[in-house]
Amino acid sequence: MRVLLVTGNYLPGKNGGIENYSHWLATLLLQNHFEIEVAALNVNENEDYFYEGVKVNYLKGSFSVFESLLEKGNFDICHFHEYSEFGGIEIPWFKKAREHSKKVFFTFHLPYFTCYKGDFRYKGTEDCNTFSNSKRCTECVIADKIGYENHRSEIVLKSVAGLMKLTGSKKKLEEKIISKYQKLSDLIATCDNIFIYADWFKNILFENGYADDSIKKIPYKTKTNISGLNAARDYSIRNKILFVGRIQHQKGLHLLCKAMNGITTRDIQLDVYGNIMDRDYYDQCIKEYSFNFKGTTNYVQMLGILKEYDFLILPSIFPEMYSLIIKDSFYEQLPVIASSSKGNKDVIVDGVNGFLFDYDNAKDLAGTIDRAYQLKDNGWVPVFSEPGNPEKDIEEIVSYYL
């Protein structure tokens, strides 16, 4: 069985959650005697290459190169791990894969096709599960544009919405919102299997009328069993925390830097791991607070590094489907302090396996870090649920490709 995994990028050039998950899956399928190749829209290597036994085809950002690969590759399954609008991996790619492959799969690593703003925050003030009510969503987007979260003036909101209606821009905005979630119907119609590993996102799809047999909740990445890892943990206080993720606004490093300046009760070392996606943003963050930038490291090394810290900090200001680094931190018995965005709040139990702070709130993050250390001073240790049955999970995942 020949399987093509399609991504936006790949290891080692980009070392994010999607890339690590895709490589974990590729390795798993290779171990189970599948023929695996990867097609990456863009790679730092700028050529085809092999990475740890996986052939990576460089698509040069081109649909025609992708089409040629499909025609020559004779793949049984084409499995997409990314969707990117405006010249990236879009619906026509899925339809072309449908023409040349026996089956087409898609995994939701991010909440594509749903909330127009991407944050599931109604008017920026409250959690929201609705993305298919175009009028409500239009009002929400307008509220976001005028900074409603700061002034909360219904009079201003109605006035701006009224002006937009007169000029026709409100109708155009609503049409864009409808177009976004209608693509979800196109995706469902094109794919044989759509994989989701986060309960919250599957529930939201169902609430908005997208309950299809092709949408399957699957086990997430299984526990890595490597000698020296997953051993009993020493919970002595190190006064060290770490951030792991892409260095860009959505990941919230700026919030953490502001929070660190607000902590005066103890001296805490902050280490930052990740790809710098936005150099200006990075410069702003390190100017705000002088952290130790550690760059990127490979997956196995990162698992070992986790044991050197008291807490992982995940200050995301967008929904995390189910962050790979949270999963691995739990496997390595490292508690997590995270924003109360969707995804995070579904897996972190405050005071049990970590702590939650108010969404997009640096002051509350500082208070939460302080609270966590005070509890740790008094003997608090985290409690983690059992990782389940890795063998059974692997068997289920592999079964979809047979």
pLDDT digit string, tens, across residues 313-352: 999 998 988 888 998 899 899 999 999 999 999 899 999 9
pLDDT per residue over 59-91, tens digit each? 999 999 999 999 999 999 999 999 987 779 999
304 shares its domain with 173: no
68 shares its domain with 214: yes
| Share of residues in the chain with pLDDT > 90 (%) | 85
Looking at residue 227, its pLDDT comes to 41
In terms of Cα–Cα distance, which of 314, 345, 342, 317 is closest to 328?
Answer: 314
Question: Which band of pLDDT confidence, cut at 50, 70 and 90, is reported for residue 225?
Answer: low
Residue 152 lies in a domain: yes
260 shares its domain with 322: yes
Would you give the DSSP letter of residue 339? E
245 shares its domain with 312: yes
Looking at residue 324, its pLDDT comes to 85
Q: How far is CA 162 from CA 139, 177, 293, in A?
A: 11, 18, 48
pLDDT per residue over 24-58, tens digit each? 999 999 999 999 999 999 999 999 999 999 999 99
Please name the residues in contact with 280: beta carbons below 8 A apart, sequence gap of 6 or more.
none
pLDDT score of 149 more than 70: yes
Averaged pLDDT, 84-111: 94
pLDDT per residue over 253-265, tens digit each? 999 999 999 998 8
Contact at 8 Å (CB) between 84 and 8?
yes
Residue 311 lies in a domain: yes
Its domain, for residue 80, covers 2-107+191-221+391-399
Looking at residue 224, its pLDDT comes to 61
Residue 382 lies in a domain: no
369 shares its domain with 292: yes
Residue 255 lies in a domain: yes
Mean pLDDT of the chain: 93
Contact at 8 Å (CB) between 131 and 114?
yes
Residue 304 lies in a domain: yes
Residue 233 lies in a domain: no
Length of the chain: 402
pLDDT score of 226 more than 60: no
271 shares its domain with 153: no
- Rounded CA gap, 331 and 255, in Å? 26
CB atoms within 10 A of CB 300: 12
275 shares its domain with 341: yes
CB atoms within 10 A of CB 14: 20
131 shares its domain with 39: no
pLDDT score of 220 more than 60: yes
pLDDT per residue over 280-311, tens digit each? 999 999 999 999 999 998 888 998 999 999 99
78 shares its domain with 138: no
Q: Which residue has the higher pLDDT, 230 or 384?
A: 384
| Tally of structural domains, the chain | 3
| Share of residues in the chain with pLDDT > 70 (%) | 98
9 shares its domain with 133: no
pLDDT score of 16 more than 50: yes
pLDDT per residue over 166-196, tens digit each? 999 999 999 999 999 999 999 999 999 999 9
Averaged pLDDT, 123-132: 94
Averaged pLDDT, 156-175: 96
Residue 20 lies in a domain: yes
Averaged pLDDT, 107-111: 94
CB atoms within 10 A of CB 279: 9
Dihedral, CA atoms, 107, 111, 244, 377, nearest 10 degrees?
A: -120
94 shares its domain with 158: no
Looking at residue 190, its pLDDT comes to 97
Looking at residue 232, its pLDDT comes to 63
91 shares its domain with 208: yes
Dihedral, CA atoms, 205, 210, 215, 220, nearest 10 degrees?
A: 0
Q: What is the CATH number of the domain that holds 348?
A: 3.40.50.2000
Residue 114 lies in a domain: no
Count the helix, strand and coil residues of the chain and give each as a percent rounded to the nearest 5: 40, 15, 40
